[in-house]
Chain A
Amino acid sequence: MNGTTVRRLAADHYVWMLLALVCVFFALLSPHFLTAFNIGNVLTQSAFIGLLAIGMTLVILNGEIDLSVGATLALSAALAIGLQNSGWPTSAAIAAGLLAGTALGFINGAVVVASGMHSFVVTLGALIGIRGLVFVYTKGNALLVEDFTYADLLEVHVGPVSLTAIIFLGMLAFFQWLLSASRHGREAYAVGDNPEAARDAGVKVGRHKIINFTISGFLAALCGILLSIRLGTAEPQAGRIWELWTIIAVVLGGTRLQGGVGSLWKTLGGVLVLAVLQNGLRLLNTPNHVELIVMGVILMIALGIDRLMTLLRARERTA
């Protein structure tokens, strides 16, 4: 292994080094950090942003973006709780919540593809509008589940690992398999790398993008359902600016916003870095504002590293 190889490996996997760094940092500062209970806790907490980040990675791989996930999860959570309170069976209410999110994802994708608008505009509109739908349905009130057994649905643990975390990791494994082993996955990279070339090579770019937006909507809905089960309530403002944390996690994982580069394993790394930071800072009793500042600064540092690595790689190529 020469220096170049090492440097390239480091460049490709810096999210894991970052994760190790924050883990060591908090393990040294807090005796509660490296306990089985807390690690299980971090995994559970990471599952919510994690589910959103899976869909976001797929969409960003295509060179698009989905800003509407936070509002979508709030709508699905509200439907799941609201409908069962009005007499629907729990399973039907959950299905309706999932369906609503999936349908909104499909609509986002279909509008992007049919109009040729950038997804930033389309999903920015959806971010505002879907939040409006949440308020129309909840009239601005938090919905509290009447059947308390609903909150027990996820109370299944394998050792310290909760069912919520298992669902997240299962989804991650499935979609990573989809990316690396299926035609849809290969096409995802092709579309993001060069849409024109992909179209010329026979890829149905439009249909492909619609599928990824639909997946993103479905996963946002799933996140909302799990959140409503965990909390037993659906807040109309749930998930506000979660799209921000999601994009941060995906970018930390090394996915290029221009599309074509990224993997879900590394997105997992980004998600875990965020979850560990949040968990560690809370274990250390730091006030909320420190968390916001640290997150922002970490993101800018990650951007700096990414920029540096790109420059280094470009220099190697010309050298």
Chain B
Amino acid sequence: MSWKSGAAAGLRQGGLWVGFVLFMAIVAINAPAFLSPGNLLDVLRQVSITGTIALGVTFVVIAGRLDLSVGSGLTLLTIIIVDQHNHAGPAGAIALTLLAGLAIGAWNGLLVGFLRFNALIVTLAMLSVLQGLALWYSGGSNVSVSSPGWFAVFGRGTWLGIPVPVLLMLAGAALAAFLLRRTAFGRAVFAVGGNETAALFSGISPARTVFLAYLLSGFSTALGAIIMGSRVMGAQSTIGQGYELNVLAGIILGGTSLMGGAGSIWRTLWGVLMLGFIQNGLILMGFPFYAQWLVTWGVIIAAVWIDLAAKRGRMLA
């Protein structure tokens, strides 16, 4: 690594950090409650669903693909788990939801991985299909858990003072990071995203790798749905709307390139967390909820631009 690229990486990290710390300081001065342990835990809890889903999607993005279907997937799976809790019981509902999530991932993976369809279009089509299935399953009405039992622990419980959904997200992240960094599959994901032809010639099956990445994405969406269902104890056909955008925004902000071949689980969590703090901070300072969308726009463009410019060794094009 030359001093130049090292400096570039430092610039990016430094720039983002300075900006973020500055933002935190401004919020903390204007709203002292911001840095209270209670609020910090709240932010963590709020990002746990986005963060959990983003774990799986990170594999897909590093493999050079996209998954825009996770928002409607979350809607459908949350409706399934909430409704099935009344019929199959908590354990059965969880099993069914995980299976359904894997099935969604397998279908995406089949089309994108093995049949080599365009990932953007396949997952956009699935966004539509899964939203339709969610409306069909719920009949357009609200579903809710009639008698919550131990199922409540995933969304509402705490352990040693830390919300269980946060612990689930962190445990999932540790597992995902291990999978990505320490296994042959993880190396294959990077190889396929970096240079598919080269990966193929080194004996890696891009089709299988992409398929497994989508399987993980479907699985993590199901985990997100378990947390969501347990937290809300109800669902309707718009509950997961827009989550695909939040997940992607978090991944991009964390510095994972949408071109594939680079990225990490911790960066993704960091990006999702940053978005969570921005959102929370703006609301604590009294801005309306939509102010976060404008800030997200600016932060995404600025972060990725600085990253690219730094890689080229110059600040502005």
Q: Which of B41-49, B144-152, B190-198, B285-293 faces chain A?
A: B285-293
Q: Which of A117, A248, A251 has the most CB of B within 10 A?
A: A117
Q: Which of A122-130, A165-173, A260-268 faces chain B?
A: A122-130
Chain B residues numbered 281-315 whose CB sits less than 8 Å from any CB in chain A: 288, 290-294, 296-298, 300-301, 304-305, 308-309, 312
Chain A residues numbered 100-131 whose CB sits less than 8 Å from any CB in chain B: 111, 114-118, 120-122, 124-131
Could you tell me if A289 and B133 are in contact, using CB atoms closer than 8 angstroms?
yes
The yes or no answer to B80 lying at the interface (CB within 8 A) is no
Instruction: Point out the residues of chain A lying under 8 angstroms from B249, CB to CB.
Output: 124-125, 128
Q: Give the contacting residue for A257; candidates B118, B125, B252, B301; CB below 8 A.
A: B118
Docked complex Cα distance between A295 and B128 (Å): 7
The total number of A-B Cβ pairs within 8 Å is: 140
Number of chain B interface residues as a range: 35 or more
Could you tell me if B118 and A303 are in contact, using CB atoms closer than 8 angstroms?
yes
The yes or no answer to A95 lying at the interface (CB within 8 A) is no
Give, as a whole number of angstroms, the nearest-CB distance from A144 to chain B.
Answer: 20
The yes or no answer to B132 lying at the interface (CB within 8 A) is yes
Instruction: Point out the residues of chain B lying under 8 angstroms from A126, CB to CB.
Output: 297
Instruction: Point out the residues of chain B lying under 8 angstroms from A282, CB to CB.
Output: none
Could you tell me if A248 and B294 are in contact, using CB atoms closer than 8 angstroms?
no
Instruction: Point out the residues of chain A lying under 8 angstroms from B296, CB to CB.
Output: 125, 128-129, 132
Chain B's closest residue to A308 (CB) is: B115
Could you tell me if B132 and A244 are in contact, using CB atoms closer than 8 angstroms?
no
Interface of A is mostly: helix
Residues of B within 8 A of A (CB): 66, 111, 115-118, 120-122, 124-129, 131-136, 140, 245, 248-249, 252, 258-259, 288, 290-294, 296-298, 300-301, 304-305, 308-309, 312, 317
5 tightest Cβ-Cβ pairs between the two chains A and B = A129-B297, A292-B132, A132-B293, A296-B129, A135-B290
A-B contact pairs, 30 of them (CB 8 A): A114-B317, A118-B259, A122-B301, A124-B249, A125-B301, A129-B293, A130-B297, A131-B290, A131-B293, A132-B291, A132-B292, A132-B294, A135-B290, A139-B288, A140-B290, A244-B127, A247-B120, A247-B124, A248-B121, A287-B135, A288-B132, A289-B132, A292-B135, A293-B132, A296-B129, A296-B132, A300-B122, A303-B121, A304-B115, A307-B117
